[in-house]
Amino acid sequence: MSCSLKQGIPLPVARRRLLIGCAGLAVAAALPAQVRAAAAPPSALRPRKGHVPMVGKGQPETSVWCFNGTVPGPSLRFKQGDRVNIEVENGLDEETTVHWHGLRVPNAMDGVPHLTQPPIPPGGRFVYEFDALDAGTYWYHPHHRSFEQVGRGLAGALVVEERAAPVADRDVTWVLSDWRLGADAQLVEDFGDMHDVSHAGRLGNTVTVNGQVLEEVTVRAGERLRLRLVNAANARIFGLRFGGHAPVVIAIDGQPVEPHEPAGGLVVVAPGMRADLIVDLAAAPSSRHAVVDAFSRARDPYRVVDLAYASDPPLRAGAPGPIAALAPNPLAEPNETGAQRHEIVLGGGMMGRRMHGLVGGTRMDMRQMMHNGLAWTINGVAAVGHMHEPMLALGLGRTYVLAMRNDTAWHHPMHLHGHAFRVVARNGRRTARREWQDTVLVDPGESVDIAFVADNPGDWMFHCHILEHQLGGMMGVVRVT
Ligand code: C2O
Ligand code: CU
């Protein structure tokens, strides 16, 4: 089973297989409680082992590693400007940390083991404390052996509310995940498999919304939804289509963007990324519409979940009015004129051109790299162990352009810690919206220029958020002093 899974069963098949035998399957239509209400944030997160009803009724619970007993972990909510104070108590049998993905925190709070803090030992504690500078949709996850710790379920959403939120009838978060499950609904124990490392990462066979294989989400005709998507999957890139609805993107990676309908109606969210949408539920009461993932051109779209309209009459007549842009976050504007430019070449992987890399100063060919668990390079260097030597040293307060070129046959969502950057060019052409992001998807063969002010001092990770690519060497440190 695990062998055929690795070769990629089309999702609907695997999903049917897992769901087979659950006659009268009645997965709760509503979203889990923790995403429905703005609950007070817990003051403690406890990563530990647990069991969750991931696949649904009539199926065994899935053994996971999780924060506070749930997958995803508690949805943390703060107001912009709040002081965040969270104690993490490690209930795992191994070391861990928590990284606040996308939040511009002081370096010592960034949660990167050996780089910004010693890892938290089993039974140990660490208090993370920082200001919620930027409003938006973020998430948290361990940064220690992420490919396995995140892959086993350790992830949760973190929302920082605007002082003036956009008008929506409901504010809903979908944490999207992807799991490689056996027929027993348990995770296949092949984390870090070299085939995954050197190809597209650990793709699974079961997609969940807020930790469950969801049949449907109940909506009401006429309502306006603010939908926050978080991609917490190790490797799966989602390209969602909303079955005849026309979602408008209002934020990417938490940062406001000029409201727009995405190209081709496809909302692309790569691992690590977030998208905030306004979805007007304009279809008829009692109708049903599939939300599908149509990212892969190699495979037919598969259903993620249905939008199931209640029979209630429309909440309002007509559309709820124009969609206003969100207020910008207090980010330093990069001044590209005179900015220093650094070329960053992403290399390695199967079916690629760069068949060698530097590993700890030693030149290795791909075969030798693979023997050492590595497959990827940034500027010819494959990261191994705990990286301390920076690949780039940046001057505090100065503007930089990182010109990335993907010299591989694979997608790479590249993530920079401690900063947000503007995506200013793709393949040499200026972007129309100069999106602020913290994770940017670079397609095979594509070039992407990002610009930012290096205004947060410290050693920051820069890596691919396909966690098996990160494990396989696609990672580096950017030092800001
Ligand atoms: Cu979401 Cu370096 O992490
Ligand atoms: Cu990658």
DSSP 369-419: HHHTT--EEETTEE--SS--S-SEEE-TT-EEEEEEEE-SSS-EEEEESS-
Regarding the beta carbon of 461 and ligand 1, being less than 6 Å apart is answered yes
pLDDT of residue 21: 28
Between CA 137 and CA 102 the distance in angstroms is: 9
pLDDT of residue 42: 55
Count other Cβ atoms within 10 Å, centred on residue 12.
14
Q: Which of the two residues, 104 and 163, has the higher pLDDT score? A: 104
Regarding the beta carbon of 144 and ligand 1, being less than 6 Å apart is answered no
Residue 11: is its pLDDT beyond 80?
A: no
Helix (H, G, I), strand (E, B) or coil at 99: strand
Spell out the alpha helix ranges (H) of 241-383: 366-371
Percent of the chain surpassing pLDDT 90: 85
Regarding the beta carbon of 236 and ligand 1, being less than 6 Å apart is answered no
Would you say 166 and 143 are in contact if contact means Cβ atoms under 8 Å apart?
no
Would you say 417 and 461 are in contact if contact means Cβ atoms under 8 Å apart?
yes
Q: Tell how far the Cα of 100 is from the centroid of ligand 1, in angstroms.
A: 8
- For the chain, the straight-line distance linking the first and the last C-alpha, in angstroms and rounded, comes to 50
Count other Cβ atoms within 10 Å, centred on residue 163.
9
Mean pLDDT calculated for residue range 388-411 = 96
Structure token digits, residue 290: 């599939």
For ligand 1, atom 1: residue with the closest CA: 101
- Please list, in sequence order, all residues whose beta carbon lies within 8 angstroms of the beta carbon of residue 411, skipping any fewer than 6 positions away: 200, 237, 270, 441, 442, 443, 444, 466
Pick the CATH number of 2-309 from 3.40.50.10540, 2.40.160.10, 3.30.230.70, 2.60.40.420: 2.60.40.420
Q: Tell how far the Cα of 321 is from the centroid of ligand 1, in angstroms.
A: 37
Confidence of residue 154 (pLDDT cuts 50, 70, 90): very high
pLDDT of residue 58: 86
Topology match between the domains 2-309 and 340-480: yes
Pick the CATH number of 340-480 from 2.60.40.2140, 2.60.40.420, 3.30.1540.20, 3.30.390.10: 2.60.40.420
Structure token digits, residue 421: 């950057």
Regarding the beta carbon of 101 and ligand 1, being less than 6 Å apart is answered yes
User: pLDDT, tens digit, for every residue of 262-278?
Assistant: 999 999 999 999 999 99
Regarding the beta carbon of 143 and ligand 1, being less than 6 Å apart is answered yes
User: pLDDT, tens digit, for every residue of 121-148?
Assistant: 999 999 999 999 999 999 999 999 999 9
Write down the residue that tokens 């490919």 correspond to: 147
Structural domain spans, the chain: 2-309, 340-480
Specify the pairing of strand 224-231 against strand 255-260. Answer: unpaired
For ligand 1, atom 3: residue with the closest CA: 101
pLDDT of residue 368: 94
User: pLDDT, tens digit, for every residue of 227-265?
Assistant: 999 999 999 999 999 999 999 999 999 999 999 999 999
Q: Tell how far the Cα of 472 is from the centroid of ligand 2, in angstroms.
A: 9
